[in-house]
Structure 1
């Protein structure tokens, strides 16, 4: 009995020590942990996260939002080292509208010769950068990072805004314990929404309490003899409180072809709907998308930019002289903007430097460029509108709010022309937008003030067509010529990837991981002419593409084009598959059968359907001394739901298997 009691006491003591979350109280047990007991694949684990959001009442400032964060993270291996760096985005428009990082302190703990050693975060480990004129980034990297270390830091953010950023309950690593407290005064009323797309749903507790704030006022009286009178005043109000105490939160594991993993993260979204100060008019902030777009349009950095034209009129008059065809007008204006103004890599739906200055200096943000494009198209007599977009990395907005958008493109809605345009993309063209904009739908704003949702998902299949001539030499090497034609998004992706790459490096990339493949005489046409398909031709020689067994020759007719890696091997899938755009991959292969050989066996001809969304065709036939194959994969949709994953997995497995099947030639 005594020994049992001793064991229980020991375990209780161990548990108490292991769960001391006070800053600086990292335990020996936490440092000795070599893997997460619930997720052995994790490269790091959040041992503890605490987030406390409240509103301080400050004289001359009113309510100031204070967000306090404390994190303790265990790092198991080098793949987890990235969790020793933290980037914090802060709004920074002006002194009155600026968020500030305060009270940052941190330590890295390592176990050295059985003792805990700490390394303090110093000034040289902190960094500041300006993202654009509205945002700054404060970041820090913890010192002395090693396998098995624990990093711990704490900081707070002072914000003059009543808007509360989303509270994230999930990372891509597990969280052992998360304590959340949000306290808001009764004057601010928030809608509360847990991300409906998340598979993990935290439990929220809501309560209220009475809060009293006392302020001291000072008043001076008199002239020759000055006296100071002090008085106090009290403000009593109700504070709304949200708490959550979660344990063992699973990691948000990434999967191949996910649009934006954050869309599926467990998080709490708070929408400020009402401000109701005592003795002041009731201010409703609950909005509609029409109201949001109207507010954006009325901003001088948006709508006013569309009304400016004097800076480009002479150039456009000369450019469009005697041009009457709407398509030709649109193309000339689009290419003019692309060549005249380069994107400075900043997003935004508001103009950053102003369209006039961007045109003069030759650089601007997305809004500078695409609002300018819209204004020019209107001047050319085309019905053009700006379209507000939330990019993939900004997520899909769940509430009507200006923060739901972070980008703007252009739409031509003419009788003979209906296209989407983004002149910030070097290789984009009509209805071929940069892929980061292909996020469900955008909000078009017309000149009459009306606005509507429009789909951004492409409907036309982007084609990648390859023709291969194949000759088998007596030494069993294979040689021939490849001709490829790429259109729309496939072409844009290739142009973006190889824009500043030499032909030698392109050849090396084709040859990489392809065995004994040699590429020569490569030629690429229409590299910069985005209105035409991209054409690529080259000669090849493959020295290890054939196996000779017992007088028979075995080889895959797709040669180095066969896809051996299947990204859809997992048994289950949590998130939709996003290919970004519908596509058609097609191979036409013409193989000269060498003298002294005949066809022993061919892969079975096959046609496989994935409902109405996908089709795979494998057709092989002998034609005299040639073997001809047509292999095609058409995906008419770019988005596949998780519940359809098993069917798609079977479909795609067939595609991979057929691509690697072999032709057998026998000696005669």
Structure 2
């Protein structure tokens, strides 16, 4: 028995000695010696420890102040992980200093092993940078010193704020997390809705409990923030204190898997394990309950009542004269013409400053005068002008792809605004921030599920942002095959809708030589000449692109036979969907219709030995279709190859079928014609 107890004691002692110490500064030699992550050897870095603690403290004269405490320890394995040595912290800055967020208690060190000794380098002040992002946002950025492969970095800080909104608690990153602890403690006066991201593959376990809190009152004059000395608290004592209950969320997690990067993902953070919290109501003792984000209607009403939103839609004095002159002679019944003139006027008059926002940053009048504004300034101005001209126009709140999808009623779930016009039975969506947007052709970043349309009477409803119009690429390829294994001819492309916008965005700042160089890239030994681009800046028209080419490595001579792929340099040679399973949907953004018409002239002295057969492949019925038609007419071969993708979002459970469909398409595009001498 004594031996057994001794063995248990030794085991406990060994576990105590080897247990990881996550106290700040207690980085171990074992952590520094680790060469790769034991479960994810491909990881460039790993979060060894992450602690996130949110709480509210009552301060005299200020009321409740939110403290968001962060502590992270990160192991960097390779040079690719050096990016994790830079931290960017976004902060809100209000017009009044009391609503500005600040960082306090920042300290950070880099740890390296040198000759068996742990060397630590402290983050210096010159490694910390602050900049203003826009009127309401600023960032603090710091880069850790003496970063090397194998080092460990560690930092902690607190973001202090009088804002009651709680940022999402994220449980997953692109790198694995060995240990994570979090705690959120909120006073009973603030009621939050809570949601674990249902799209995530990793769902953490969260414990809900209660704790006691106490407010100490030093003077009646400084007792503010909705709590009055008359109203008291739950157990107000005569000693100048108020006791209250706090709602507490706790989580302790080990070995959290990383997010898996995959091709064609709309926004990886949409599938990130995270806790989303939104303030629904504020209920101080002896005061009416203040309801906030309990429903989408309340959210949109709160936004519409904001002076930087609803009031901006009412202002028209700054543009009246210009608009009256612009619309002079255009019948009031010609709504489409009036809308087109206003849309182009705003785009040419006010340039986007590249800041997002659904509220006006400068105010519409100032933005119009200065010729620059954020997305709120520009598209609220556009909506106001459209209304002035007699159109049924309303703002649409949007969450860009980088901002995620708003899953619960929330103001912070939106970060952008566009304009919608109701014309008979159709809705036309407009965004005047970009040079090449047109009716229902929006920036790709805004095509994120649903937008919330707000009408003048305060009512609101959802608008589908997923494009319904097909974007087409039509190609005519003429090929003359030559006995010296070269090919020459002419190519003509026509692009519509989003495909046209992509070309305009890609080449708008290129000269002819730069466009040719871009077109020649990854096309083998090709020389392109006689380039023509039509309607590059006439955005109401499709783009027509044509050029001549000479391809030096067009064919292979194997045993006297010539082998050639009919689509030449236009064929897709590699399937981007290689993994066996898929965690997240494939997002093609918009419906696609690609069609290639290829005419091949055979070289003199050769005939067809074999050529690809005509086929048709389908994915999930009409969701996708690939057609390959081949026929011979004397010395000419004709191929018509088309791909129609009508479904823009391919779900993980459809992945295996879609991968097979795509692979068959790739293999068919790369099939060769075999020519023999005659």
TM-score (norm 2): 0.94
Q: Say if 1:167 and 1:621 are closer, same or farther in 2 by CA, change over 3 A.
A: same
Aligned to 2:240, the other structure's residue is in SS state strand
Question: Is 1:587 paired with 2:635?
Answer: no
Match of residue 66 from structure 1:
67
Q: Say if 1:272 and 1:446 are closer, same or farther in 2 by CA, change over 3 A.
A: closer
Aligned to 2:82, the other structure's residue is in SS state helix
| Residue of structure 2 aligned with 1:645, choices 641, 647, 655 | 655
Would the aligned equivalents of 2:375 and 2:416 in 1 still touch at CA under 8 Å? Answer: yes
Match of residue 173 from structure 2:
171
Match of residue 667 from structure 1:
677
CA distance in 1 between partners of 2:101 and 2:15 (Å): 41
Mapping for residues 96-135 of structure 1, pairs under 5 Å:
96-135=98-137
CA distance in 2 between partners of 1:189 and 1:462 (Å): 46
Segment drifting more, 320-329 vs 429-438: 320-329
Segment drifting more, 265-274 vs 364-373: 265-274
Q: CA deviation at 1:415?
A: 2.4
Match of residue 451 from structure 2:
442
Would the aligned equivalents of 1:217 and 1:232 in 2 still touch at CA under 8 Å? Answer: no
Would the aligned equivalents of 2:400 and 2:448 in 1 still touch at CA under 8 Å? Answer: yes
- How far does the alpha carbon of each residue in 1:358-387 deviate from its partner, in whole angstroms, 9 at most, with x for none? 111111111111111112222222221111
Question: Is 1:292 paired with 2:299?
Answer: yes
Q: CA deviation at 1:191?
A: 2.3
| Residue of structure 2 aligned with 1:494, choices 503, 507, 510 | 503
Match of residue 391 from structure 2:
382
Match of residue 30 from structure 1:
31
CA distance in 2 between partners of 1:116 and 1:566 (Å): 47
Q: CA-atom RMSD, angstroms? A: 2.0
Would the aligned equivalents of 1:327 and 1:417 in 2 still touch at CA under 8 Å? Answer: no
Q: CA deviation at 1:565?
A: 2.1
CA distance in 2 between partners of 1:185 and 1:381 (Å): 49
Question: Is 1:345 paired with 2:357?
Answer: no
CA distance in 2 between partners of 1:208 and 1:417 (Å): 51
Q: CA deviation at 1:450?
A: 2.3
Question: Is 1:326 paired with 2:335?
Answer: yes
Question: Is 1:614 paired with 2:624?
Answer: yes
Mapping for residues 209-358 of structure 1, pairs under 5 Å:
209-217=211-219, 232-324=239-331, 325-358=334-367
Q: CA deviation at 1:15?
A: 6.8
Question: Is 1:545 paired with 2:546?
Answer: no
| Residue of structure 2 aligned with 1:474, choices 472, 478, 483 | 483
CA distance in 2 between partners of 1:209 and 1:319 (Å): 64
CA distance in 2 between partners of 1:443 and 1:258 (Å): 23
Q: How many residues align?
A: 656
Q: Say if 1:341 and 1:125 are closer, same or farther in 2 by CA, change over 3 A.
A: same
Match of residue 518 from structure 1:
527
Question: Is 1:19 paired with 2:28?
Answer: no
Q: CA deviation at 1:281?
A: 2.7
Mapping for residues 591-602 of structure 1, pairs under 5 Å:
591-602=600-611
CA distance in 1 between partners of 2:323 and 2:216 (Å): 64
- How far does the alpha carbon of each residue in 1:410-458 deviate from its partner, in whole angstroms, 9 at most, with x for none? 1111228641110101101011001011011111122333221111111
Q: CA deviation at 1:47?
A: 0.3
Segment drifting more, 236-245 vs 622-631: 236-245
CA distance in 1 between partners of 2:214 and 2:320 (Å): 62
Q: CA deviation at 1:209?
A: 2.5
TM-score (norm 1): 0.95
CA distance in 2 between partners of 1:298 and 1:161 (Å): 19
Structure 1: tracts of 5 or more residues without a match: 220-230
